[in-house]
Structure 1
Amino acid sequence: MTAPARPDAARNACPYLYGQEAKAVARVLESGQYGHTDVTEEFERRVADVLGVADAVAVASGTAALHAALLAAGVGPGDEVIVPSMTFCATIQAILAVGATPRFVDIEPATLCVTDQLVKEAVSDTTAAVVPVLFGGRAVDLGTVQEELDERGIVVIEDAAHAFGSYAGTQRVGTTGALTCFSFGPIKNLTCGQGGMVIPRTPEDADTLRRLRLLGVVQSQSERANITTYRVDSFGLRYQLSSIFAAIGLVQLDRFATSEHTRRQLWRTYQDALAPLEGVTLVDVDPDHTVPHLCQVRVPHRDQVFAELRAQGIGVGVHYPPNHLQPAFAAWRRTLPATEQAGQEILSLPFHQHLTERDIEHVVSALGQSLKSAGGSRCATC
């Protein structure tokens, strides 16, 4: 009979709220104004201030952020977008939504991120954009290929869904000149319950994004309150961020320094606890510069280990099955050895701010025992 999982170890990921979010939402509800209001605009200003950028455009989700950024960059039918297969399927769906096609590229095994060399090898005459995925929160440096991308007019759109608060060197992700897309979904480093953000490159980008998120309408919501008509001059979608969600985000921003510190400490606790396990490789997120979103290991006999830990009530997961092997994306399938190997080995351990050191010790002990029974590892302390 297996020991029951500790309560917080049973969840792979879950939101962490600080207690003031409910009051902030209640104030919005009491106002009677639930749509895009000054609360949403305050959230945009606060995110821009935290990042040190001129502007930030809030949208309904991280997927909406990617879709809107691709549209704002003029990516469309006939264009090819370089993207790693190792990402959530939302990244690929956003590319398909603008009529472009994905050009899947491989990853660097230690980080699960794309590299500048892999991008350089994939660039073609039809490449319109590169979408590096900041996997687990780690920044991606396109250094040696960036000049070529600029010369060819190829836009970089960062999928930073995992990476709010992380750094690229000494600069926050979102400040390095790319169109950067964040997610504020339920389990992200900073949550709104649901939501996303695009960091524009220019005022023109910001204007385009604001029209896109409001059905192509030129006038803002406050401007429309004082006129009898409005003008629609471009394609658009209903991608606004509700003030209900923005209110949650504002509270989360007030506590983000605590979240940032806690997530780094949890990852380092895992790093120390996992060290005695032979045959286990911890995916490197560079915790000195990253606000970690995941804690992932690569293990032999992954499917057996996954099943055994789940049977014990431990909330392990797999992030993510490679997209180039998915039926929906079969038309763009290529051989990607590092991605395919990682897809067979990666295991996401429970990682969220409710975890305690004791929870982590419990997870790692169970992992060691599961590996031992699978014949994949020996542990000096298990």
Structure 2
Amino acid sequence: MMTTMVAGKANNARPFLYGSEEAALAEALRSGHYGHTDVTDQFEADVAAFLGVPETVAVASGTSALLVALLAAGIGPGHEVLVPSFTFCATIQAILAVGARPRFVEVNPRTACVGSGEVLDAVTAETRAVMPVLYGGRAVDLSEAQPVFAAQGITVIEDASHAFGSYAGELLVGAAGALTCFSFGPIKNLTCGQGGMIVPRNALEAAACRRLRGLGIVESAARPAEATGYTVEGFGLRVQMSSLNAAIGSAQLSRFPRAEAKRKSLWRAYATALQGVEGVTVVDVDVEHSVPHLCAVLVRTGRDRVFRSLRARDVGVGTHYPPNHLQPAFAPWHRSLPVTERVGRKIMTLPFHQHLVEDDVEYVASEVVKAVTETAAIG
């Protein structure tokens, strides 16, 4: 109990390993080939089978997945991409990296995600892509906006960094028809240590993603011995997934049902413990259909004071995320987004990772109640 509590409450997020990753990594190391190899190919095939899609394209990170997906969709200079301001800054940096410009969109405060209404309110004649962020693991439904997207040639590129294993209706996120990007970073639902994955919409898009991730080279980097040379067909990056990262990911994928069950259980425990607490609202991730990546709450008043109080008690709370339209780097694209700004002032994320047990959740929740009550008393 004490070991878990000390390790758990002091960390907002923390990687979780099952034990088989070390052997998988050692085997990949012994091969002597550390770039994109057949280990990476197998991981791609396994993720595709898990999602129920024809193919996936592995890359070095979630950010590079977004970047490659934007390029494969033909998004570039002069194009406008609708994106929630309430996301990690990597989402915005990927848009800027292809020469496009972000147009920031409001979120629904109950879910911290965009919906069709928020997106349609922000569409302009120059919009060429929409990048919904599946905050906390919750799928985003933009079906009501699809007629506008079709009429204007707007591509949906999902930032599903939080949402591996979640469902969009009857289908897993990634299998519902959008160009989808996952992150397999250190603290994600499934980790490769570092990595990302793109789910392309068709074979042509998959081929484009593969060229873009591998310096524009057509031949597979996994089979260099079969080639007498190589052909560079166009622009490309060096963002392939290493076999070392793929080996970790494959070990994780085989245990994913454990991750799903534990994350759902922890989120439900927080929601139960905080139900009815005055001044605290749990952001809804639709846990019945999601594998939660985090547990976020909105603190009605005095969020900063509550935050500092909890940190002083060694409870690892966070603020995911500060709105991007208020960041100095993105000032040229600032818009008035009062809902997002309110969410940004109230949001607080609680310790959430698979090392936690329900006693830890109860402890954190009780500390949140104390801090909120003390803050309200001070006024």
Task: Provide the TM-score with structure 2 as the length reference.
Answer: 0.97
Distance in 1, matches of 2:319 and 2:261, equals 25
Distance in 2, matches of 1:83 and 1:34, equals 35
Contact 1:317 1:348 in 2 (8 A): yes
Contact 2:82 2:127 in 1 (8 A): yes
Distance in 2, matches of 1:6 and 1:238, equals 40
Distance in 1, matches of 2:288 and 2:73, equals 32
Contact 2:212 2:236 in 1 (8 A): yes
2:335 match: secondary structure: coil
Letter in 1 for 2:263: R
1:145 match: secondary structure: helix
Shift of 1:357: 1.0
Shift of 1:313: 0.7
Shift of 1:223: 4.6
Look up the match of 1:349.
350
Aligned residues: CA RMSD: 1.3
> Which sections of structure 1, spanning at least 5 residues, go unmatched?
378-382
Distance in 1, matches of 2:361 and 2:6, equals 10
Shift of 1:28: 0.6
Distance in 2, matches of 1:127 and 1:290, equals 29
After TM superposition, list the pairs within 5 Å mapping 1:109-124 onto structure 2.
109-124=109-124
Look up the match of 1:286.
286
Distance in 1, matches of 2:151 and 2:173, equals 23
Contact 2:36 2:222 in 1 (8 A): no
Look up the match of 2:71.
71
Distance in 2, matches of 1:221 and 1:92, equals 30
Look up the match of 1:380.
none
Alignment partner of 1:144 is 2:144: yes
Letter in 1 for 2:87: T
Shift of 1:151: 2.2
Shift of 1:225: 2.1
Distance in 2, matches of 1:198 and 1:43, equals 13
Look up the match of 1:34.
34
Distance in 1, matches of 2:32 and 2:102, equals 43
2:226 match: secondary structure: coil
Q: Deviations over 1:195-218 (max 9, x none)?
A: 000000010000000000100011
Shift of 1:220: 1.1
Percent identical pairs in the alignment equals: 60
Q: Deviations over 1:320-364 (max 9, x none)?
A: 000000000000101101100000000000000000111111111
Q: How many residues align?
A: 374
> Which sections of structure 2, spanning at least 5 residues, go unmatched?
none
Alignment partner of 1:217 is 2:212: no
Greater CA deviation, 274-283 or 43-52? 274-283
Contact 2:72 2:209 in 1 (8 A): yes
Contact 2:29 2:244 in 1 (8 A): yes
Task: Provide the TM-score with structure 1 as the length reference.
Answer: 0.96
1:6 match: secondary structure: helix
Contact 2:37 2:223 in 1 (8 A): no
After TM superposition, list the pairs within 5 Å mapping 1:233-252 onto structure 2.
233-252=233-252
Look up the match of 1:15.
15
Letter in 2 for 1:129: A
Distance in 2, matches of 1:6 and 1:28, equals 34
